[in-house]
């Protein structure tokens, strides 16, 4: 059965471009983004890994480690990295798993036989410090991912983990947020001292608590 939100992210030990990683131990108390790419020396993947390298400081700000995986070897990855650095004008700064035996790909359901029975699709898993899966995304091989969206989701997840709020459609960091329906009206003023507004009994908004 496919991994679902709230499941414990499967642990594994794998060789990467930065040495051997024991996944849960490597994550420690950090959040994690594990994402797959179909193959080395391919155009869309080259742009994606370059984009993530450029955003590494943004992931660091969010206490988040990033880790890529494909079914190619670490040796192949290491050769490809120079192309990524050259064409994307960046420096690779996070590990790529060599998954030739498809261990990680199979643990996380990254191979979809009806799309391609040998290569991974563009999967994304956001994993919390509790090692539980907080988000899953699946893109086809032909569509490059929007990593600004992944940062936006991280902001939302971390906000919800620390405050009793949810984020509305198209929310971005700094916008008003939704007060959880689990909070009684009587408790709102003390819990949200910046104020609130009630649009409907089930739709109450407040300024972002940590801004």
Taken in order 190, 194, 195, 199, the sign of the CA dihedral is: negative
What's the count of helices (H) and strands (E) in the chain, helices before strands?
A: 7, 11
Token digits of residue 64: 């988040």
In the chain, how long is the greatest CA-to-CA distance?
61
Torsion, Cα of 100, 76, 20, 138 (10° steps): -60
Task: Please tell me which residue in 33, 45, 92, 151 is annotated as part of the active site.
Answer: 45
For the question of residue 45 being annotated catalytic, the response is: yes
Q: Do residues 27 and 127 make contact, with C-beta atoms less than 8 angstroms apart?
A: yes
Q: Are strands 96-98 and 64-70 parallel, antiparallel or unpaired?
A: parallel
Active site residues: 45
């Amino acid at each position: 059965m496919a991994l679902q939100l709230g499941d414990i992210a499967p642990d594994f030990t794998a060789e990467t471009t930065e040495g051997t990683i024991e996944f849960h131990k490597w994550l420690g108390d950090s959040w994690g983004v594990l994402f797959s790419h179909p193959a080395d020396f391919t155009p869309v993947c080259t742009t994606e890994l370059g984009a993530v390298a450029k955003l590494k400081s943004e992931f660091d700000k969010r206490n988040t480690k990033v880790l890529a995986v494909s079914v190619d070897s670490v040796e192949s990855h290491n050769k490809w990295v120079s192309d990524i650095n050259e064409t994307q004008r960046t420096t690779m700064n996070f590990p790529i798993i060599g998954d030739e035996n498809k261990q990680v790909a199979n643990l996380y359901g990254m191979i979809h036989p009806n799309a391609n029975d040998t290569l991974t699709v563009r999967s994304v898993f956001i994993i919390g410090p509790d090692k539980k899966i907080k988000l899953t995304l699946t893109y086809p091989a032909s569509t490059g991912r929007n990593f600004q969206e992944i940062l936006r989701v991280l902001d939302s997840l971390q906000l919800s983990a620390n405050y009793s709020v949810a984020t509305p459609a198209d929310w971005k960091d700094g916008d008003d947020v939704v007060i959880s329906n689990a909070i009684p009206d009587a408790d709102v003023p003390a819990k949200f001292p910046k104020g609130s507004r009630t649009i409907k009994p089930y739709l109450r908004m407040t300024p972002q608590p940590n801004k």
